[in-house]
Amino acid sequence: MNKDSIIENISSDDQLKQFFNSLPLGIIFFQKDWKISFINKNFFRFPGVIQYSSDLILGKSILELPLFERTDLNEKLNALQFAEDFEFAFFKKPTAKGGSFSVIVKGVSIFLSTEFQGGVLIVEDIKIDKPDSTELINANDYLISVIDSFSDYYMICDLDLNIKFKSNSSNFLFDYFIEKPQEQIKSAREKITNPELKQLILTTSKSKAPSKQRFSFPMNFRDYHIDLNIIPIFDSLSHNELVFIVGKDVSEEVKIANQSLKEVNELRKYHEIVTTIVDAVIGLNNSGNVIYWNEKATTLFEYNKSQVFNQFIGKVIPQLDKLFFESIVEEVALSGRWEGHLKLNSNPDDERRILVRLAPVSSDNEKMLVALCSDVTERYRLERELRNSEEKFRNIVINSHEFICILDLNGDIIYSNPFFNERFLPDQNPEKIKNFTDFIEPFYIEKNKIKFNELFSGRDQNIELPLITSDKKRIIVLASFTPSYNLAGEPIYFNAILTDITLQKEAEKDLLLIRSVFEASKDGIALVSDGKLVIINDSFVNMFGLESAGSSLGKDIIEFVASNDRSSVRNYLNSINKGIEIPPRFEFAAIRTDNKVFIAEVSISIYDVSKEVFSVWIIRDVTEEKKSQDALKKSEERYRNLANNIDESFWVAERIENHMKTVLYTPAIKKITGYSPDEFIKDNNLWFNIVHPNDLEEIQNKQKQFFDDISRDNEVFEYRILDKFGGTVWIRNKISVVRNSKGDVFNAFGIINDISLSKKADDELKNFTENLKELNETKDRFISIISHDLRTPFSSILGFTDILLNEEKISNEKRIEYIHFIQESSKSMLSLVNSLLDYTRIQTGRIKFEPERISSKDIFEKSLKVLGGAALQKNINLELNFSKDLYIHADESLFSQAVNNLISNAIKFTRKGGDISISSAPSSDKNKIEFRIKDNGVGIKKDDIAKLFKVDAKFTTSGTSGEKGTGLGLSLVHDIIKKHGGEIRVESVLGKGSEFIFTIPVSSTIILLVDDTKADRILYSKILKNIIPEYTIIEAEDGREAFKLIKTNSPALVITDHQMPIMNGMDLVKQVSISDFKIKPPIIVLSSDITPKIEKGYKDLGIEFIFTKPVNLAVFKSSIEKSLRKVFYNI
């Protein structure tokens, strides 16, 4: 027991408390926080001590309580934490015999290691008078009676283990520790001889703290147990010379405790056995109702007895329905028992299973069925795992890259794994059995006289064998043949595992070449031990200008290093010896024997052979190589500057581990794709992942054909990719390859450039060419129309005018009739000419086209007013069904013309008293509005629908009231709708009517403001709301976010900054330009970073308005208004 444990445990150890309370001393223990933890009963019996109740001061700070009259101990107490113990008399009084009586207090500090743990105050009285022997005897008797009260035996011994004093009561058990003196030596004392007690006394004396230990030993055919308390006794100078030993015989207590523990363990063991063995027990009557239910059943089925009593067993085991139970009862009646595996519940995901065993039981003339239910889920699980393990083992054998086969006792192969079959039996009929020796090289069998029974001796063995594969190649295998035995210990077959060690055997041959390589190497090679040369080759001799190899052995390797680099070489060597990670090669200035200096490159390898460390130095003269590297570095720097400042991206691919892997992209690739070079290099599949899905299969096939065609080394591919921002980019990838002698590609080089703009220009040129061709065809059609359709009215006019001029006897009625014919022909000709003029103006682009935000409802209402008279003449009901006013982006004049033509056409072909309805609704394309003009007129033949919008067909028929047309009206409508980016179609049933359906772009009320500076976005948002309050302003921080918003919101206008992170304004314009958006918003550039070069770049991309911040608001407003009247249709 150490000092700190005394303080902490004194109040809980009854024996120690009894002991300290019995001492004729005053004792106080206090802890390191100065709080009092123990006071013995005698402390307040000494004169000069202030009287307190023990209960009141326990736990109080000893520094806050005055304990002695006229004495302050605080300063001395504080000194205890610095190991300064004290002792002084605080009370003195003369005695009647002329002497004196003093009461002294001692303060002793307690430390654990170097940490202060608290202390103890001891109060005792001292009489200087010569003591009366009677008084001493009485005091001694008093002390002995106190100790006898709580112990069976006690003694005091010195540190030499001589017993100075012991209790009068004799106890033979304590003789176990003591050696009796010989009777002839009268002066001899009893001595403690027990080794364990001797060690305990010495330890206690050193620690100066009481200790306690139980001793157990056999004596007189039984076990005894004694508790010994060892207490050191100190003199006035705190010297420990004696030890007080108090013993207590606890044999009976231990015996009783052990017996109780044994009984408890027996009971626990019985309980565990019962709990383990007993299954869930359920009693059932003949109807299947539960009449008995034990605790194990509650645990297994998670139902208590009250939940299932007198309930059908099917509630607990759903699989046991009424019909199933009746069949079980019948089987029990016949065979006396039933056993089966059932699912624990009906949950299909629950895999738990139970084993149910049913048997009849009779008791007091009452018959019942007893079901013993065992949870066999674990067994099911183990069986499943076993099957899985078998499957895994089967997979290992099947997929192993070891040759595995099973041989019968004659060496015939009765099983072989796929890897064996692939190399040795690729075309072998599985039913045809081959002998293993058929695969051993015949020369080896002949040379070594190998026989099968000698090859397999019936025990595990490894042997190297040369085998011949199916393709006649020779391989070396390490063959392991393991016999399998039957129960009689006889081998029944052999497991053969063959490991291909061909490469290892070749490596062994290579080792034989090392010596010749060492001698033939052009690099200087030196073997160094402890810094001294052990072996050098001829190249080393020549490199350093030595006389011979032998003359330089034993020299320090550092002598061959120029003085300026010796320190760095030593540091390099120290790093190698310490295992610090360093570059595999190191350059230094080396010096020859003629004092010429050259640049050497060294690689050093360390080997530990028989506890001796060797280093191998491989040295090359790289002086000329360094010059070449410097030149190459300058060349690379020029190339890098060139690559970083051009729009094309260079790439390089190499064959690595039989796969082509791209190892280099120049920075321009990020400008083209949005992805950095590192992203492509880390993910070798990224390039094909971004190829446009519609182009992927074609480009993969073309590239494969190119790589496989050994006659081609260069090719150019053009296809689309999807950049990091989701935009479509056309690229040209020019590839050059380097092939080996077999024609396989082992290096590839390429140049990638963005051809989106040129591709767009090509498409526009192609469209222009096609339009021009179409115009030429239209011209021919017009000439045909003019030559045919205009000839007819002209012929009529000329014919009737000739009659009127040449025939004098024409009646007035005939003259008026002829004039009406001339008028009708003139009107027909005028209508035809007007239609031709409108159509040609649209086709040639000479017509003014200014789309703007207009009300579709207003256009249709105006049209109905204009055409209402014609409808009224035929008593046709015109109905406009617009739920709300919808705004569109269209040219008012052209759109009105298209609406008039369609409504006029409906009136023309609707019978008298018919109905025409006009409706609108949002289109499936959310950026457009769908209009429908429906009549219940004559309808159109299915074959004629395709002719309606073709000018060359000039399909026309007379109306229901004989109205005539030019045949160009619907062609004109078709072109107007298409010019607006819309679509038109017809749904018609002959005799029931027609419905013309067309779409027009909705007028967007959104303006997108793009700027990476929040303050500028706030400022210009306010300006825009003042300039155009009817529009909604949305914001984006960079080009990538803006591009996504354009795709999803179709803004009427985009105002963008130039310099922004991720995607700048120039790239945003390019992305919008090359995108497949059907409606592309106009873009205004507003930035503080505009230079003439940047402005020209935007102009080249078709941007009209480019402003530098701060902007002139009047000019800015004018450009916004002009831009809002524009829209670009991707038709």
Q: Can you tell me which residue has the tokens 């940490």? A: 115
pLDDT computed for residue 1131 by the predictor:
44
Cβ-contact 106, 76 below 8 angstroms: no
The per-residue pLDDT for 176 is 80
Neighbours of 878 (CB within 10 A): 20
CA distance 1030 to 1012: 25
Homologous superfamily of domain range 521-626: PAS domain (3.30.450.20)
The SS3 call for residue 161 is coil
pLDDT for 722-759, tens place per residue?
888 777 889 999 999 998 888 888 899 999 998 887 88
Lowest-confidence region among 765-769, 1002-1006, 1008-1012, 1048-1052 = 765-769
Q: Furthest-apart CA pair in the chain: how many Å? A: 196
Residues 989-1030: tens digit of each pLDDT: 888 899 999 998 888 888 999 999 998 899 889 888 888 888
For residue range 968-986, what is the model confidence (pLDDT) as tens digits? 678 778 888 888 888 999 9
Mean of pLDDT values over 833-838: 64
Percent of the chain with pLDDT over 70: 83
Structure tokens that stand for 480 in this block: 């392991």
Name which of 258, 254, 211, 256 is nearest 15 in CA terms.
211
**How confident is residue 301, by pLDDT bands cut at 50, 70 and 90?**
confident
Residue-averaged pLDDT of the chain: 81
526-539 mean pLDDT:
87
Does domain 278-381 match CATH 3.30.450.20? yes
State mean pLDDT over 609-618: 80
CATH of domain 660-754: 3.30.450.20
Confidence of residue 292 (pLDDT cuts 50, 70, 90): confident
CA distances from 744 to 121, 733, 1037 (A): 98, 20, 49
Name the pLDDT band for 1034 (thresholds 50, 70, 90): very high
Please tell me which residue, 771 or 1095, carries the higher pLDDT value. 1095
pLDDT in tens, 465-506: 899 998 888 999 988 888 888 878 888 888 888 899 888 887
- CA 988, CA 369: separation in Å to the nearest integer? 81
Cα torsion angle, 675, 678, 681, 684, sign: negative
Selection from 262, 221, 227 nearest residue 247 by Cα: 227
Q: How far apart are CA 277 and CA 357, in angstroms?
A: 15
pLDDT at 1036 over 90: yes
- Asked whether this chain's domains 3-150 and 278-381 adopt the same fold, the reply is yes
d(CA 857, CA 881): 10
Q: Taking the alpha carbons of 808, 813, 814, 815 in that order, is the dihedral positive or negative? A: positive
> pLDDT tens digits for 173-216?
777 888 777 665 555 678 888 888 888 888 888 888 888 888 88
String of DSSP letters for 1033-1085: EEEESSHHHHHHHHHHH--SEEEE-SS-SSS-HHHHHHHHHHS--SEE--EEE
Q: Decide which of 954 and 339 is more confident.
A: 339
277 pLDDT more than 80: no
Give the architecture-level CATH label for domain 3-150: 2-Layer Sandwich (3.30)
> Candidates 3.30.70.260, 1.10.10.10, 3.40.50.2300, 3.30.390.50; correct CATH number of 1006-1129?
3.40.50.2300
Dump pLDDT digits (tens) for 582-601. 787 888 999 998 999 999 99
CA angle 762, 1073, 1003 (to 5 degrees): 125
**Alpha carbon 837 to chain centroid, angstroms:** 68
Asked if pLDDT for residue 891 goes beyond 90, the answer is no
Cβ(600)–Cβ(587) under 8 Å? yes
Residue 636, classed as helix, strand or coil, is helix
Instruction: Enter the tokens of residue 911.
Output: 């019978």
**CATH entry, 412-506, from 3.30.750.24, 3.20.20.70, 3.30.450.20, 3.40.190.10:** 3.30.450.20
Whole-number pLDDT of residue 749: 92
The CATH homologous superfamily of the domain defined by 848-1001: Histidine kinase-like ATPase, C-terminal domain (3.30.565.10)
Question: Distance between CA 968 and CA 946 in Å, rounded?
Answer: 14
Are the C-beta atoms of residues 775 and 781 closer than 8 Å to each other? no
| DSSP 3-state of 617 | strand
DSSP string over 805-861: HH-TT--HHHHHHHHHHHHHHHHHHHHHHHHHHHHHHHHHT-S----EEEEHHHHHH
Q: So what's the pLDDT on residue 129?
A: 44
pLDDT at site 133:
38
pLDDT at 792: 58
Terminal CA-CA length for the chain: 99
Buried-state track 228-240, b at ≥16 Cβ within 10 A, e below 16: bbbbbeeeeeeee
- Cα separation, 1046 vs 1063, in Å, equals 14
The structural domains of the chain, with segments of one domain joined by +, span 3-150, 278-381, 412-506, 521-626, 660-754, 848-1001, 1006-1129
Q: Which ranges constitute the DSSP H helices of 290-417?
A: 295-301, 305-308, 322-335, 377-399
